[in-house]
Amino acid sequence: MYQPVRVPVRKRSCLEPWVIGLITFISLIVLAVCIGLIVHYVRYNTRKPYNYYSTLSFTSDKYYYEFDKEATTNFTEMSQRIESMVKNAFAQSSLRRQFIKSQVIKYSPQESGVVAHMLMIFRFPSTQSPESIKKTIEHVLHEKLQHATGPPKVDPSSVVITNINKTETDNFLKNCCGTRIGTSSGTSERIIGGQAVEQEGEWPWQASLQWDGAHRCGATLINATWLVTAAHCFRNYKDPSRWTASFGVTVNPPKERRRFKRIIVHENYEYPSHEYDIAVVELSRPVTYTNVVRRVCLPDASYKIAPGSQAYVTGFGALKNDGTSVNRLQQVEVRIIDSKTCNEPQVYNNAISPGMLCAGYLQGGKDACQGDSGGPLVSSNSRDIWYLFGIVSWGDECAEPNKPGVYTRVTAFRDWIEAKTGV
């Protein structure tokens, strides 16, 4: 039989024209998307901050003196209202993506009401001119604040804006209580169970109190010349001339150092009781506020911190019970524990008085320890302003289960602090 010879046929490798067209089309789309993403990324990441100082007049049913004092509940409530009006105004405008935040820094009286002074921060590509942005901001506020619902009743036409630089912004902020710059670790959980503070300025109100040059206690800056600390720090160490206070995240070298002018221990403090464990120290001369040395805010006497609130305790104290102090500042996140729980038999069995505040964890693990005494327990509000709620006072050893840290309750001594220091 005839068998045809099989000639191997080479398959043509050429693609159909329509397939080539499709591949080219898809490649172009992918390329365009990539270029778009890169352009967006570069534009977004090369945006730089633009800072403005603004004043705004308003009237309210409250009088100026009711929110004149910085960090009071009235000041905070009024500031929250104004800041949210400003935020809403920008949210409804073409600047919604560029607006970062506004912060009221003070109030001043005016014949027909009050003037709020605030800082506003925006981000724009660096090619934009600050002056043209200023005009847009002014226009948005004039327009949108007309629809803002009070109280307070703001006057949109009163808005005046000035362009300021980063240094001027920092200068305004460093004079405000409870502001901090270095928040690198932010909310991340990373003293006992805590971590070393990464950069200068994270807890700018922290001081180290040293007797003959050796760290003994922590303290907190409440204005340029006054520190708040624990009374028990001075039990056997009364001579102010042998004490110094230093500032900065390391004890050695410090960022700033001051001698003591005066120590005022609470009149009712009596060892070995832990009641009235509070003292104030006047420095020989004022510190200058910088990005790394600043004061904390004090809460109103009537302010009640909620159990479970997040707080931070900082100090140069021991990393374990009976350990030695450390050179670099440590921080640890703790929770406020209500006094009823803290007074239970297995915890502190009714040893917690109204002038004390418990914070930590009933399971143990995170706590202040020896050498942290006198130092701050702070918590921030929704405006990101930090307040002093506790002074490290005592505890049964450190970080043991059912033995949280016990702090002097600052709100209970708010009026005493004012009487002694004027703050």
Q: Which residues are catalytic?
A: 232, 277, 373
Cβ 73 to ligand 4AZ, closest distance in Å?
29
Selection from 85, 179, 159, 164 nearest residue 384 by Cα: 179
Distance CA 260, CA 19 (A): 84
The window from 30-38, 53-61, 277-285, 391-399 that contacts ligand 4AZ (CB under 6 A) reads: 391-399
Distance CA 246, CA 265 (A): 20
Cβ 85 to ligand 4AZ, closest distance in Å?
43
Radius of gyration of the chain (CA): 29
CB 102 within 8 A of CB 83: yes
Distance of CA 223 to the CA centre of its chain: 17
* Closer of 83 and 372 to ligand 4AZ (Cβ): 372
**Looking at this protein, which amino acid is placed at residue 408?**
T
- Contact flag: residue 229 with ligand 4AZ (CB under 6 A): no
* Closer of 356 and 392 to ligand 4AZ (Cβ): 392
State the DSSP H helix or E strand holding residue 112, giving kind and residue range, or none if neither: none
Q: Kindly give, in sequence order, each residue whose CB lies less than 8 Å from that of residue 390, ignoring residues fewer than 6 positions away.
A: 311, 313, 357, 359, 376, 377, 407, 408, 409, 410
Bond from prior residue into 152 cis (ω within 30 degrees of 0): yes
Partners of 335 in the β-ladder = 310, 360
* Closer of 106 and 335 to ligand 4AZ (Cβ): 335
Q: Kindly give, in sequence order, each residue whose CB lies less than 8 Å from that of residue 92, ignoring residues fewer than 6 positions away.
A: 144
The window from 49-57, 122-130, 150-158, 390-398 that contacts ligand 4AZ (CB under 6 A) reads: 390-398
Cβ 373 to ligand 4AZ, closest distance in Å?
4
Distance CA 217, CA 225 (A): 18
* Closer of 172 and 269 to ligand 4AZ (Cβ): 269
CA distance to 21, 117, 145, 398, per residue, from 57 (Å): 64, 9, 12, 52
- Contact flag: residue 120 with ligand 4AZ (CB under 6 A): no
- Contact flag: residue 392 with ligand 4AZ (CB under 6 A): yes
CB 76 within 8 A of CB 82: no
Distance CA 102, CA 79 (A): 10
Partners of 24 in the β-ladder = none
Angle, helices 130-144/73-91, rounded to nearest 10 degrees: 100
* Closer of 216 and 295 to ligand 4AZ (Cβ): 216
3-class state of residue 356 by DSSP: strand
DSSP state of 12: P
Cβ neighbours, 10 Å, residue 257: 16
The window from 262-270, 299-307, 342-350, 392-400 that contacts ligand 4AZ (CB under 6 A) reads: 392-400
The window from 86-94, 159-167, 322-330, 389-397 that contacts ligand 4AZ (CB under 6 A) reads: 389-397
Q: State which of positions 31-90 bind ligand 4AZ (CB under 6 A).
A: none
Q: Which of 277, 405, 410, 417 binds ligand 4AZ (CB under 6 A)?
A: 405
* Closer of 51 and 373 to ligand 4AZ (Cβ): 373
Cβ neighbours, 10 Å, residue 370: 20
- Contact flag: residue 395 with ligand 4AZ (CB under 6 A): yes
- Contact flag: residue 334 with ligand 4AZ (CB under 6 A): no
Cβ 367 to ligand 4AZ, closest distance in Å?
5
Task: Count the residues of the shown chain that bind ligand 4AZ, applying the rule CB under 6 A.
Answer: 11
Q: State which of positions 341-380 bind ligand 4AZ (CB under 6 A).
A: 367-370, 372-373
Residue showing the smallest CB distance to ligand 4AZ in the complex: 395
Q: Which of 52, 269, 394, 416 binds ligand 4AZ (CB under 6 A)?
A: 394
Cβ 34 to ligand 4AZ, closest distance in Å?
56
* Closer of 160 and 351 to ligand 4AZ (Cβ): 351
* Closer of 254 and 395 to ligand 4AZ (Cβ): 395
Q: Which of 398, 408, 414, 421 binds ligand 4AZ (CB under 6 A)?
A: 398
Residues in the chain: 423
Reported as half-sphere exposure (CB side, CA atoms, 13 A), residue 95 has a value of 26
Q: Given the rule CB under 6 A, which residues bind ligand 4AZ?
A: 367-370, 372-373, 392, 394-395, 398, 405
